[in-house]
């Protein structure tokens, strides 16, 4: 655990995060993210760009530095620069930036093969650049690019470079695991060597996540004397990305005594905005900000949460501006459903709850996830089913839909225990189904109501696998509606129609204690369609 010292958080979403393949923020987007990072999340510093990249980059940096100057944040906005006196420094001055993060060579391999210079030449170039920056009012921090390989393969050179930077008193020395290749024991060893040798220096650690070890490495770096951590929102960054801001915050608050300034309750809001601006979708199982991370799926977990919060840990969703959810599906059980009903303010009788649970399990077999938004649709469907006796039901069907051919339906229907089969084609699958149904009822001398309205809806936020609720309005001397719910639109309409058949069966039974449908004679198919299920059908229900 720590000693209550402050750990700085420098977020580089706008610089290193923008190196994510396919990500490019607009200048206006950069300004919005910068404002959120500094004012909402309260990060200590932000790195917003690389010098000399483009005119668009210059425009974005100017927007941020002008706003930062008005707010008194100029010393918290940083720009990556290069050992190219005077080019990078002059670019920063034009952009209004006050802090340069100077990129130097942290390994002898990079220095020898990329710059083709000796250590002495590189140190002299760095000194010239730092002095020039200071003459222009620029504060200098220094990156040791490829520092991790430097410590592995050319430690004498890397330690000599750190000693030189300490002598010329740069503000911060930043140690990047540029290729994300270190494991936690190496981080612990290397950082301990450096912080012990140079106890008065401020060192930042910059982790990449190629082996999914960035957070473990961050912890080891802090335990061994690092004073600042670099992050990106949602873990954006080159290749596998950087240490995610959201995870760093949670881990430091829960596993150390070190102080950080971040307002974690704003993390989710900022995360979602960066998701939109970057176009990089957040994985559902991503810690802290993923869609599923605060969702209990197993019914036993929901039951445990009802009994002394048995499945809670310190990672509470309210900390991050989120809420715990209880997934609905074939493994959820009554406890999950009760949790969702409480959230909706709905109370069901025990038998109704049992039937809702059964319906969710049935639907959960058809699609990956049943959402809270689906629940009112399911309850409505179940409650209507409860009020309708089921003497008539669809025993089976086979539907075809082929390009260039009319859809066809083969239907098997049970009426008071007796089975009937018919097939038909139509202008759409539901039309074909209705035509087959008409044949069955006409053969028995029965009449069907007119279909007067056909309405399809899906729950808010529904996707391609969303449930479909079909509400059909019928005229059978009196107007009534039936609903069907399924992941398939045609099947949902068929379920609504099945309910209609049972309602009209009950209507006629009440009237005369026996079925009294009117006999239809000598009608052509178009008249059948109009008489049986309404002349508005063709415009609304195909």
The set of catalytic residues is: 15, 145
* Contacts (Cβ under 8 Å, ≥6 apart) of 330: 360, 361, 364, 365
Q: How far apart are alpha carbons 139 and 409 in whole angstroms? A: 76
Radius of gyration of the chain (CA): 34
Q: Is 367 helix (H, G, I), strand (E, B) or coil?
A: coil
* Torsion angle (degrees, nearest 10) of CA 530, 532, 537, 541: -160
Which candidate, 125, 119, 120, places its Cα nearest to that of 103?
125
Closest among 414, 417, 473, 416 to 440, alpha carbons compared: 414
Q: Which of 70, 99, 35 is nearest to 277 (CA)?
A: 35
Of 460, 456, 490, nearest to 470 by C-alpha is 456
Q: In what order do the strands lie in the sheet with 418-425?
A: 392-400, 408-415, 418-425
50 HSE (CA, 13 A, CB side): 12
Question: Which burial class, exposed, middle or buried, applies to 426 when counting CB atoms under 10 A from its CB (0-12, 13-18, 19+)?
Answer: buried
What is each CA distance from 31 to 11, 59, 77, 526, in whole angstroms?
Answer: 14, 10, 12, 63
């Amino acid at each position: 655990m720590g000693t209550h010292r402050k750990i700085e958080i420098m977020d580089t979403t706008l610089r290193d995060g923008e190196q994510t393949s396919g990500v490019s923020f607009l200048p206006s987007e950069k300004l919005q993210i910068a404002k959120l990072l500094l004012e909402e999340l309260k990060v200590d510093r932000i790195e917003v760009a690389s010098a000399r990249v483009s005119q668009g980059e210059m425009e974005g940096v100017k927007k941020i530095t002008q706003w930062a100057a008005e707010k008194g944040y100029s010393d918290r906005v940083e720009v990556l620069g290069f050992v190219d006196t005077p080019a990078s420094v002059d670019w920063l001055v034009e952009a209004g930036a006050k802090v340069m993060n100077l990129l130097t060579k942290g390994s002898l391999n990079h220095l020898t093969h990329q710059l083709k210079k000796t250590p002495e030449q590189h140190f002299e170039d760095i000194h010239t650049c730092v002095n020039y920056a200071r003459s222009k009012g620029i504060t200098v921090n220094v990156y040791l690019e490829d520092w991790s390989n430097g410590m592995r393969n050319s430690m004498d050179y890397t330690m000599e470079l750190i000693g030189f930077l300490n002598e010329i008193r740069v503000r911060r020395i930043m140690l990047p695991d540029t290729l994300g290749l270190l494991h936690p024991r190496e981080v612990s060893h290397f950082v301990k060597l450096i912080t012990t040798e140079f106890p008065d220096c401020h060192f930042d650690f910059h982790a990449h996540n190629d082996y999914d070890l960035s957070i473990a490495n961050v912890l080891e770096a802090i335990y061994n004397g690092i004073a600042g951590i670099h992050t990106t929102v949602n873990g954006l960054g080159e290749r596998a990305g950087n240490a995610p801001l959201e995870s760093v915050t949670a881990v430091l608050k829960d596993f150390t005594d070190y102080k950080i300034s971040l307002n974690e309750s704003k993390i989710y809001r900022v995360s979602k905005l960066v998701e939109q601006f970057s176009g990089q979708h957040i994985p559902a199982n991503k810690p802290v900000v993923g869609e599923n991370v605060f969702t209990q799926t197993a019914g036993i977990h929901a039951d445990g949460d009802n009994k002394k919060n048995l499945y809670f840990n310190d990672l509470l969703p309210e900390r991050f501006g989120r809420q715990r959810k209880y997934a609905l599906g074939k493994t959820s059980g009554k406890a999950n459903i009760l949790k969702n009903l409480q959230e909706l303010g709905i109370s069901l009788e025990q038998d109704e709850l049992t039937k809702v649970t059964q319906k969710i399990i049935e639907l959960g077999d058809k699609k990956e996830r049943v959402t809270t938004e689906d629940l009112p649709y399911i309850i409505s469907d179940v409650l209507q089913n409860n009020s309708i006796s089921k003497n008539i039901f669809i025993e089976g069907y086979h539907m075809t839909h082929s390009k260039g051919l009319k859809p066809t339906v083969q239907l098997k229907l049970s009426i008071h225990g007796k089975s009937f089969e018919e097939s038909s084609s139509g202008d759409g699958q539901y039309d074909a189904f209705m035509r087959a149904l008409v044949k069955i009822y006409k053969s028995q001398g029965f009449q069907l109501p007119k279909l007067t309205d056909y309405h399809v809806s899906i729950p808010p936020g529904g996707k391609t696998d969303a449930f479909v609720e079909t509400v059909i309005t019928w005229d059978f001397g009196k107007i009534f509606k039936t609903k069907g719910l399924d992941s398939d639109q045609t099947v949902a309409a068929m379920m609504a129609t099945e309910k209609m058949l049972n309602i009209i069966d009950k209507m006629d039974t009440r009237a005369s204690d026996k079925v009294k449908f009117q006999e239809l004679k000598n009608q052509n198919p178009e008249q059948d369609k109009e008489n049986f299920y309404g002349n508005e059908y063709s415009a609304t229900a195909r």
